[in-house]
């Protein structure tokens, strides 16, 4: 009796696959691209807006700090881009396990499992937050050990302590976002982030220009804004926004935690190795001569890069959802076609931004600072920023394919080899041995690490046997 049941469950996706393939044969290439683009942008469009809104909160905080002084800008840059950036990368990566699990479960119509996966993610990420607390308490001595100037390290340590509530908000917000986007409910995330952004702008203006609370007050505004977003999303989910996928607190959340932890850890390592890569660049720059100007200029470039990176990261989310949904539905060709459409569209957008940076390189830093030395340093770095943006229009999308397919542990090894065994040593060689300074460090890390990693992911994706991925998924669901 159980064998008949298993055969019946396997036949359903295969019948759906047959009908999908027959429909695709009747459509022209242009029609298929248009249909896939609509499905993709249903995730990508709201995701771009919500991610830009979330990241803009960090940029706005950094901009307000920059207008308080060069030391305040350097301290906020180190605190948000390095310390909080390390934390952000790990938590975001661990939460991305839900993109694989929720996306494939939704495609396989196992709706009740999405709520269970969400609760497991909250448990795992909350424990991770507690374990990481010493980094926040000992940020100042850690930064001094890494070679940061004493005044920058001490002020950065104070700012980092103010970010502890924000640190815990990541454990709830990131899983909620992936839970909702797997169900194509990105518009909810976008609206909540819009309100959060407007609240953050108003609070930053009041605290800096009316209450004059300085860099500490500026940092505290981020806690309020991010927790507002968490509470907004929780309210939506708990109050009937997801009737199919949220059935309340479940005891199942505490079963299978070890397997969930392993996938979360693989996802965390995969994405945080990418995210940490350029954070290390800022730390290395802090050991150069005239470190404050170099750190300020590089932090401005990283902020602009991070702002634009929200678009490829939205494609990362959209690609992960589309690939996972198609694999869950038993459609390997659909997963492959979704990948091609997503990469092509992201590259076109990346090329447009490449042109904008090349044309407006002298004006890039004005939003952050009026310091002439910093403006000149940013202008010199703009060509490296442009090529970083171009590479980022490909690499996150291929990582999205990996997440949607469940290849996280495999890609983590690639990231470790290309970024840390090739890119970082080349950056050190160019920066110090050949005396090229920050430009040499950055160029070595781009062309030695990011470019090679992107090439490796492209080869893996092109050689993927999508029908085999479908069969693996059928064994899971």
Q: Is 120 helix (H, G, I), strand (E, B) or coil?
A: helix
Q: Is 256 helix (H, G, I), strand (E, B) or coil?
A: coil
* Alpha carbon distance 147, 222 (integer Å): 27
Q: Which residues contact 229 (CB under 8 A, 6 or more apart)?
A: 54, 169, 173, 192, 193, 196
Phi, psi of 109 (to 5 degrees): 65, 30
pLDDT at 474: 64
pLDDT at 23: 55
Do residues 186 and 45 lie in contact, with contact meaning Cβ atoms separated by under 8 Å? yes
Q: What are the tens digits of pLDDT across the range 374-407?
A: 888 888 888 889 999 999 899 889 888 887 777 8
Mean pLDDT of 91-97: 82
Do residues 267 and 97 lie in contact, with contact meaning Cβ atoms separated by under 8 Å? yes
Question: Can you list the alpha helix ranges (DSSP code H) found in 332-449?
Answer: 332-359, 372-392, 395-405, 408-415, 424-428, 437-445
pLDDT at 9: 41
pLDDT at 197: 92
Q: Which residues contact 307 (CB under 8 A, 6 or more apart)?
A: 52, 55, 56, 59
- Per residue in 114-125, is it b (16+ CB within 10 Å) or e — as a string? bbbbbbbbbbbb
Mean pLDDT of 4-18: 45
Do residues 79 and 163 lie in contact, with contact meaning Cβ atoms separated by under 8 Å? yes
Confidence of residue 1 (pLDDT cuts 50, 70, 90): very low
pLDDT at 405: 75
pLDDT at 6: 39
Pick the more confident residue, 392 or 260.
392
* Alpha carbon distance 238, 84 (integer Å): 29
Mean pLDDT of 169-179: 92
Helices (H) and strands (E) in the chain, counts: 22, 0
DSSP one-letter code for 254: G
Residue given tokens 């290849």 in the structure block? 407
pLDDT at 119: 92
Q: Which residues contact 403 (CB under 8 A, 6 or more apart)?
A: 96, 99, 100, 267, 270, 316, 320, 324
Confidence of residue 337 (pLDDT cuts 50, 70, 90): very high
Of the ranges 11-25, 143-157, 307-321, which one carries the lowest mean pLDDT score?
Answer: 11-25
Please enumerate, as own/partner, the contacts of 124-128 that have beta carbons within 8 Å and a separation of 24 or more: 124/94, 124/257, 124/260, 124/261, 124/264, 125/91, 125/94, 125/95, 125/170, 125/171, 125/172, 125/174, 125/175, 125/264, 126/168, 126/171, 126/172, 128/90, 128/91, 128/94, 128/171
Of residues 96, 231, 88, the one with CA closest to residue 166: 88
pLDDT at 448 over 50: yes
pTM confidence score = 0.76
pLDDT at 443 over 80: yes
Confidence of residue 238 (pLDDT cuts 50, 70, 90): very high
pLDDT at 24 over 90: no
pLDDT at 122 over 70: yes
The pair of structure tokens assigned to 274 is 């990418």
Confidence of residue 301 (pLDDT cuts 50, 70, 90): confident
Residue given tokens 């060689």 in the structure block? 429
The pair of structure tokens assigned to 370 is 């009026």
Do residues 141 and 103 lie in contact, with contact meaning Cβ atoms separated by under 8 Å? no
pLDDT at 34 over 80: yes
Q: In the chain, what percentage of residues exceed pLDDT 90?
A: 21
Of the ranges 129-143, 147-161, 184-198, 203-217, which one carries the lowest mean pLDDT score?
Answer: 203-217
Angle between helices 291-328 and 437-445 (to 10 degrees): 10
For the chain, the distance separating the N- and C-terminal CA atoms, rounded to the nearest angstrom, is 18
Pick the more confident residue, 235 or 396.
235
The pair of structure tokens assigned to 325 is 């949904």
Pick the more confident residue, 98 or 15.
98
Do residues 16 and 330 lie in contact, with contact meaning Cβ atoms separated by under 8 Å? yes
* Alpha carbon distance 233, 183 (integer Å): 14
* CA angle (161 as vertex; 158, 164 as ends), nearest 5: 160
Q: Give DSSP secondary structure letters for 347-361.
A: HHHHHHHHHHHHHST
Of residues 300, 302, 308, 307, the one with CA closest to residue 281: 302
Residue given tokens 């469940």 in the structure block? 406
pLDDT at 259 over 90: no
CA-derived radius of gyration, the chain: 22
pLDDT at 90 over 50: yes
pLDDT at 278 over 80: no
83, 85, 212, 368 from 136: Cα distances, Å: 8, 12, 25, 25
Question: Can you list the alpha helix ranges (DSSP code H) found in 67-163?
Answer: 70-77, 84-95, 97-107, 112-131, 133-137, 139-145, 150-162
Averaged pLDDT score across all residues of the chain: 82
pLDDT at 169: 94
Of the ranges 62-66, 290-294, 327-331, which one carries the lowest mean pLDDT score?
Answer: 290-294
pLDDT at 10: 42
């Amino acid at each position: 009796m159980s064998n008949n049941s298993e055969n019946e469950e396997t036949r359903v996706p295969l019948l759906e696959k047959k009908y999908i393939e027959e429909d695709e044969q009747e459509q022209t290439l242009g029609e298929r691209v248009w249909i896939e683009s609509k499905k993709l942008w249903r995730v990508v469009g709201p995701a771009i807006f919500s991610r830009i809104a979330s990241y803009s909160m960090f940029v706005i905080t950094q901009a307000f700090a920059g207008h308080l002084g060069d030391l305040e800008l350097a301290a906020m840059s180190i605190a948000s881009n390095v310390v909080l950036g390390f934390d952000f990368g790990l938590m975001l990566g661990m939460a991305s396990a839900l993109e694989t699990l929720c996306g494939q479960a939704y495609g396989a119509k196992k709706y009740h499992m999405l709520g269970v996966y969400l609760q497991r993610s909250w448990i795992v990420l909350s424990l991770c937050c507690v374990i990481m607390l010493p980094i926040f308490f000992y940020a100042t001595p850690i930064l001094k050990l890494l070679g940061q100037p004493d005044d920058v390290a001490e002020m950065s340590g104070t700012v980092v302590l103010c970010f502890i509530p924000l640190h815990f908000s990541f454990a709830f917000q990131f899983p909620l976002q992936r839970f909702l986007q797997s169900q194509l409910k990105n518009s909810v995330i976008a609206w909540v982030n819009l309100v959060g952004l407007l609240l953050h702008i108003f609070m930053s203006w009041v605290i800096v220009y009316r209450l004059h609370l300085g860099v500490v007050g500026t940092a505290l505004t981020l806690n309020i804004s991010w927790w507002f977003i968490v509470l907004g999303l929780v309210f939506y989910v708990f109050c009937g926004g997801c009737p199919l996928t949220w059935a309340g607190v479940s005891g199942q959340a505490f079963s299978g935690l070890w397997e969930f932890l392993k996938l979360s850890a693989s996802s965390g390592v995969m994405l945080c190795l990418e995210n940490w890569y350029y954070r290390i660049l800022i730390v290395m720059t802090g050991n150069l001569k005239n470190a404050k100007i170099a750190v300020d200029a590089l932090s401005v470039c990283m902020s602009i890069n991070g702002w634009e990176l929200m678009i490829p990261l939205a494609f990362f989310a959209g690609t992960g959802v589309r690939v996972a949904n198609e694999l869950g539905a038993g459609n390997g060709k659909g997963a492959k076609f979704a990948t091609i459409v997503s990469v092509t569209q992201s590259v076109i957008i990346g090329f447009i931004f490449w042109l904008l940076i090349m044309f407006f390189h002298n004006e890039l830093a004005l939003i952050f600072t009026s310091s002439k030395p910093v403006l000149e340093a940013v202008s010199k770095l703009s060509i490296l920023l442009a090529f970083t943006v171009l590479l980022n229009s490909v690499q996150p999308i291929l990582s999205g394919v990996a997440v949607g397919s469940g290849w996280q542990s495999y890609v983590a090894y690639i990231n470790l080899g290309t970024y840390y065994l090739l890119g970082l040593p080349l950056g050190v060689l160019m920066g110090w041995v050949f005396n090229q300074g920050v430009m040499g460090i950055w160029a070595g890390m781009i062309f030695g690490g990011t470019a090679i990693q992107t090439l490796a992911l492209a080869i893996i994706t092109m050689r993927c046997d999508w029908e085999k991925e479908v069969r693996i998924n059928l064994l899971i669901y």
